[in-house]
């Protein structure tokens, strides 16, 4: 616990200034974090990020991450959209599987493209959310962190019924519900302080769904790790694991806020 707290304090001290300032430095930071996240998930399958397929996938990730204003400029200059560029990278990976005579397979291609989208979409919306305003980023972080903390402490205190033991043995139903309750309380407090231009009813509904999806995002990453037989996605953050271990919930929550038209 002590190691987790120390790491969290140091990470917050480094990360928060980028969030507050936003703009290009924040975008560059997100690109770097997403690249590390891609490295982590590829490593689980035994694919090097610095191999030819890994580099092609990294470029696909960078395209997916592009902020909307960047992608519009690229399309004006080159006449190709983001999805067309990603399609080109898919074709290159498929051609590579033929060149190496299936030592790199169709399944590997599917894994790489799914990984690029899994990591890229969530972090893309991280960048996009920051352009909409700092308050929305803070709201998303508050929901994710309060849900995680509530689920952890309430689960440890009164948790008796396992939520999904085949995927994550330590998570409990009580913790799952407790995380939602703590997220609601935190959202109300945040609304009183920040005053988002949303009704309390809308805020409550979005918070409940976001808290649920955040915990599902956590479970998805747990399922991936369990499938590949690893405990943590990485070792970048002592006591917390890797980038994906820390941002797995946010990768689900941020796109959801846009799908709900809560942001944008």
pLDDT digits (tens, 9 = 90+) for 70-118: 999 999 999 999 999 999 999 999 999 999 999 999 999 999 999 999 9
Alpha-carbon dihedral angle through residues 255, 258, 259, 261, given to the nearest 10 degrees:
160
What was the pLDDT predicted at 169?
87
* Candidate from 10-19, 215-224, 249-258 with smallest mean pLDDT: 10-19
What was the pLDDT predicted at 64?
98
List of residues 6+ apart from 16 with CB closer than 8 A? none
Helix (H, G, I), strand (E, B) or coil at 239: coil
Distance separating alpha carbons of residues 27 and 18, to the nearest angstrom: 9
In the predicted structure, residue 12 carries a pLDDT above the cut 90: no
Contact 100, 162 (CB under 8 A): no
% of the chain exceeding 70 in pLDDT: 98
Structure-block tokens of residue 219: 């479970």
Q: What is the pTM of this model?
A: 0.93
List of residues 6+ apart from 104 with CB closer than 8 A? 53, 96, 97
Angle at 210 between CA 208 and CA 214, to 5 degrees: 120
Residue keyed to tokens 């953050």: 237
What was the pLDDT predicted at 164?
86
Distance separating alpha carbons of residues 88 and 104, to the nearest angstrom: 18
Contact 249, 148 (CB under 8 A): yes
Helix 173-194 × helix 200-228 angle, to 10°: 140
What was the pLDDT predicted at 2?
66
Distance separating alpha carbons of residues 25 and 157, to the nearest angstrom: 41
Residues 30-53, mean pLDDT to the nearest whole number: 97
Contact 210, 143 (CB under 8 A): yes
Structure-block tokens of residue 111: 């894994």
Please provide the average confidence, as pLDDT, over all residues in the chain: 94
In the predicted structure, residue 1 carries a pLDDT above the cut 90: no
What was the pLDDT predicted at 263?
86
What was the pLDDT predicted at 233?
93
What was the pLDDT predicted at 131?
94
Model confidence over 152-205: pLDDT tens digits?
Answer: 999 999 988 999 888 888 899 999 999 999 999 999 999 999 989 999 999 999
């Amino acid at each position: 616990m002590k190691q987790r707290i120390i790491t969290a304090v140091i990470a917050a001290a480094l990360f928060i200034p980028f969030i507050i300032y936003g703009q290009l430095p924040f975008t560059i930071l997100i690109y770097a974090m997403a690249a590390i996240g891609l490295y982590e998930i590829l490593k689980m399958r035994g694919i090097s990020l610095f191999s030819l397929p890994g580099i092609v996938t990294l470029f696909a990730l960078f395209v997916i991450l592009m902020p909307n204003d960047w992608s519009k400029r690229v399309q004006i200059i080159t006449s190709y959209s983001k999805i067309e560029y990603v399609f080109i990278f898919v074709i290159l990976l498929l051609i590579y599987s033929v060149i190496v005579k299936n030592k790199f397979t169709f399944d590997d291609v599917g894994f790489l493209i799914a990984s690029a989208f899994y990591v890229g979409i969530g972090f893309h919306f991280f960048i996009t959310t920051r352009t909409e305003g700092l308050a929305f980023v803070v709201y998303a972080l508050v929901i994710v962190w309060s849900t995680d903390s509530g689920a952890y402490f309430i689960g440890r205190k009164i948790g008796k019924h396992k939520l999904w033991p085949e995927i994550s043995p330590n998570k409990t139903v009580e913790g799952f519900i407790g995380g939602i309750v703590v997220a609601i309380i935190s959202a109300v407090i945040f609304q009183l302080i920040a005053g988002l231009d949303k009704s309390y009813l809308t805020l409550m509904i979005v918070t409940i769904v976001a808290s649920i999806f955040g915990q599902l995002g956590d479970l998805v990453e747990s399922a991936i790790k369990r499938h590949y037989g690893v405990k943590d996605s990485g070792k970048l953050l002592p006591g917390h694991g890797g980038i994906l271990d820390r941002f797995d919930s946010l990768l689900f929550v941020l796109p959801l806020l846009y799908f709900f038209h809560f942001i944008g």
